[in-house]
Amino acid sequence: LSPLKNCLVALTCQFEGVNKQFGKDVGQIDLEVGYKISSNEEEDQVDNKVDKEQQPQSEQKDNVEEKEIKRDIQVEQEQEEYEQGQIIITIIGVKNVAAMDSNGKSDPYVKIILADKTERTKKVADTLNAEYNQTFNFAFDPSSTQERDLKLELWDHDTMSDDDQIGKVSLPFLPYKNNKQKASFTFTGVNKLYGKDVGVVDIDIIYDTSTQTKNNELSTEGQQGTGGEGGA
């Protein structure tokens, strides 16, 4: 009936015989036929169509909002895990360093960067595998910086010109919160070595917040003690 909705059509229909007249044309009828829906039914159909169109968008919007809320909660929880403390990192050594000099060697050293503080190891000449065993300490206050990674850079020392950066890697330090571990990271090349593996650094690292916690406890105890003496 859908083709006849809200219109009137003239039709001629053929009767087909039954019983002993089965299969024969036994007459025809002329008629006009149409299908008109009531205003209420039309409104219901429009409402249903609108609901069907809007429902996926509503559900999609709800899903997006839910994901955003979960992401914000996760970020907030992660931020709460960062505490004032210190990051102590030992650069044990580097290996498989990309050759930067004409003799097939490099003079590698490592820079360690957190926010506006930069430290560096000594250089080791003419090698692709260097040992340093140098330790560096970085004070960390989450309220004064947005940095949440240590940045390590691999450099080649040049006597006659500027030093060349070989590669870099970012090191998240939250996994090492009060958890001293040895770890290895691969430098990713920069400039003409972009995207290549250009060396591996071996480190020993801890993000130590226990000292700060103890200092806070001692400070609180001292304030309470001072208050008690003043009251006496």
Buried b (16+ CB within 10 A) or exposed e, 30-39: eeeeeeeeee
My answer on whether 97 and 203 are in the same domain is: yes
The answer as to whether 90 is a domain residue is yes
Segments in the chain below pLDDT 70: 1-10, 20, 22-23, 33-63, 66-67, 70-79, 211-232
Token pair 């004032």 is found at 84
Specify the CATH number for the domain of residue 141. 2.60.40.150
> Which H helix or E strand runs over 89?
strand 85-95
My answer on whether 95 and 194 are in the same domain is: yes
The answer as to whether 23 is a domain residue is yes
Q: Which domain holds residue 193?
A: 85-211
Token pair 């304030």 is found at 223
My answer on whether 89 and 24 are in the same domain is: no
Question: CB–CB of 73/116 below 8 Å?
Answer: no
My answer on whether 90 and 201 are in the same domain is: yes
The answer as to whether 60 is a domain residue is no
Question: CB–CB of 173/150 below 8 Å?
Answer: yes
pLDDT in tens, 59-101: 666 667 766 776 655 555 566 789 999 999 999 999 999 999 9
Q: What SS3 string covers 35-65?
A: ECCCHHHHHHHHHHHHHHHHHHHHHHHHHHH
pLDDT at position 174: 96
pLDDT at position 226: 52
The answer as to whether 53 is a domain residue is no
Centre a 10 Å sphere on the Cβ of residue 205 and count the other Cβ atoms it contains.
Answer: 20
Q: Give how many domains the chain has, as a whole number.
A: 2
pTM for the model: 0.61
3-state class of 92 per DSSP? strand
The answer as to whether 232 is a domain residue is no
End-to-end Cα, the chain, rounded Å: 98
DSSP 40: H
pLDDT in tens, 133-157: 999 999 999 999 999 999 999 999 9
My answer on whether 93 and 29 are in the same domain is: no
